[in-house]
Amino acid sequence: MSIASNKYVIGNWKMQARHDHGLKLAREVTENLEQAPPPPFIKTVICPPYTQLSEIHKNLAHHESPSCPALGAQDCYPAPSGPFTGDISAKMLVDLGVTYVILGHSERRQNHGETDAAIRQKVKAATAAGLIPIVCIGEHLAERNEGRAASVLARQIEGSLTRGFRGIVAYEPVWAIGSGITPSREELQRKLNVIHALLPMRLMVDDFRVPVLYGGSVTAAQTSSLFSIKGLDGVLVGSASLEAKSFLDIIRAATESLSSSPS
């Protein structure tokens, strides 16, 4: 099954899970998904800090169920190797058992000065290494209030994605991340329509539909409603992915919503 056919629940742990907590969290999520597996088209991904990737991968390798979460990372450097202190390459992530990588998160754009051009180079490197890039886009509150959200999304899609992009896009309005505020259903539908209209123009291909996720204060209570929105293919979860129960509740809510939706 291609990535375009799947639905996604992806947990971004950021820099918030220490070693023992992360290992316990990954184990609890994995064991629960084995006992109560979601449908095969719902893909679960966990993105721990770099320091936990190797050990979590080893632990996941002991579980053969296809319902087990895939492993993702939170960034990569565009060069395959070299004198880049503190960085990690896409190929190094592959060596650790990583399948997905988050790129262009607004926290990296803001805190590390990452530009669309820099993110595009990372996308190229991730794709060349065999990783599935999850590219984050989204407007700031001022841009939204000034009616510039669509132009911001267009600029980010044009600048951050490669021609023929084969990955995932996560729409994360910056004003919603960690704020407890989410866009209305109507606003989110409008933004998704804009994104889906822009993507084919950037990709210049007709044979691939890019999955589009939503991220920004995602909770289990919202999940059923989110997955019923046309054109939404999943969620990128922040703080709610740091506890097994809240993350599993989101996966269950997604399963219930998608199982009850007309085919």
For the question of residue 107 being annotated catalytic, the response is: no
CB 87, CB 77: distance < 8 Å? yes
**82 is written with which tokens?**
């070299």
Q: Tokens 């984050």 belong to which residue?
A: 136
For the question of residue 172 being annotated catalytic, the response is: yes
Q: CA 136, 257, 175, 151 torsion: positive or negative?
A: positive
Q: Distance between CA atoms of 83 and 92, rounded to whole angstroms?
A: 14
- Opening angle at CA 101, ends 95 and 107, nearest 5: 130
Print burial letters for 161-178: b (CB count within 10 Å at least 16), e (below 16).
Answer: bbeebbbbbbbbbbbbbe
Of the residues 105, 114, 139, 143, only one is catalytic, namely 105
CA distances from 108 to 22, 75, 111, 170, 173 (A): 22, 9, 5, 14, 14
Phi, psi of 250, rounded to the nearest 5 degrees: -65, -45
Of the residues 57, 146, 172, 187, only one is catalytic, namely 172
> Residue 20 burial (CB < 10 Å; 0-12/13-18/19+)?
exposed
Which residues are identified as catalytic? 105, 172
